[in-house]
Amino acid sequence: MLRNNDLGDLLVITPLFAALRQRFPEAKIIAGVGSWALPILAHNPHLSGTLTVNAPWFNKGVQPQGWRDRWHYLQHSEAVAQIAAQQFDIGIDVLGSNWGALLLLRAGIPYRLGVRGFAGGAAAMQQCIRFDPQQRVSRAVLGFAELLGATELPDPRPQLFLTPDERRAGEQIWTGRGQRVAIAPGSGREPRYWGEANWQQLVARLAATRSDLDVVLLGGPQDVTLARNWLGWAPIFATLLVACHCARRFRCWLPLNW
């Protein structure tokens, strides 16, 4: 499976791994993802392994992304050679693009699945799901498993698999705490960022509801300044926790509902 996109893009398709493992319990199932996203797949029991595919398209992890860069990657990258060496029987371009289709072709994968109606590549595929902007991605990608004969599908929610140490850390964070609110203010694209003033108003309204709230900021080191500002906006908050490193920590803090 090719999913060389951003963190959230990978996280929301993790139910597909479970669906394919249930359909093909003895198969070798490999996810090709960007190096920046590998921690999301750590300890995933449905995967046989991962391949690092830092392909220069449809992500923010690789620059530049001109057509020459993409063509050079297809022709000369070690990752494409590694994929070809695995001699996969089936390849899935989860995003569904011309470039993803070319990668599967270049790797010599005989049976290919993609997406019709998004970014191209459908003509090079044996089967496709149809892009539907009204359908959640986590459910839409399960269509790949259905195309391959799956009839029993998992709940279309992101899946993370925590170590015992991570679970214990989460339990320690929440022991004895009252009502909690988790806020993820960041955005991968500037036009999508809500703006600090809007977050300030939201935090102030939350603070007005009760004085014993614990607020968790889901973010990275770049959000530490924002977290400190929150204390000035709403000094009645009892505690402010900042997740500074990895999305893998989030599941032990709150149930994900996508």
pLDDT digits (tens, 9 = 90+) for 109-147: 999 999 999 999 999 999 999 999 999 999 999 999 999
Q: What is the mean pLDDT of residues 202-224?
A: 72
Would you kindly state where each structural domain of the chain is located, as residue ranges?
2-147, 164-252
Please report how many Cα atoms fall inside a 13 Å half-sphere around the Cα of residue 51, on the Cβ side: 21
Give me the pLDDT at residue 221, please.
66
Does 9 have pLDDT greater than 70? yes
Q: What pLDDT score does 175 carry? A: 67
- CATH of the domain spanning 164-252: 3.40.50.2000
Whole-model pTM: value is 0.82
Q: What is the band of 60 on the pLDDT scale with cuts at 50, 70, 90?
A: very high
Q: Where are the alpha helices (DSSP H) in the chain?
A: 7-11, 14-23, 67-76, 78-86, 98-106, 137-140, 142-147, 164-174, 196-209, 224-233
Question: Could you tell me which residue, 178 or 83, shows the higher pLDDT?
Answer: 83
pLDDT at residue 98 in the model? 98
Q: Which range, 94-98, 190-194, 216-220, is most confident?
A: 94-98
The pLDDT assigned to 204 comes to: 76
pLDDT value at residue 178: 65
Q: Which two tokens stand for residue 161?
A: 């698999």
Q: What percent of the chain has pLDDT over 70?
A: 78
Q: What's the fold here for domain 2-147?
A: Rossmann fold (3.40.50)
Cis peptide bond N-terminal to 64, omega within 30: yes
Domains 2-147 and 164-252 share a fold: yes
Distance CA 218, CA 245 (A): 10
Is residue 241 predicted with pLDDT exceeding 80? no
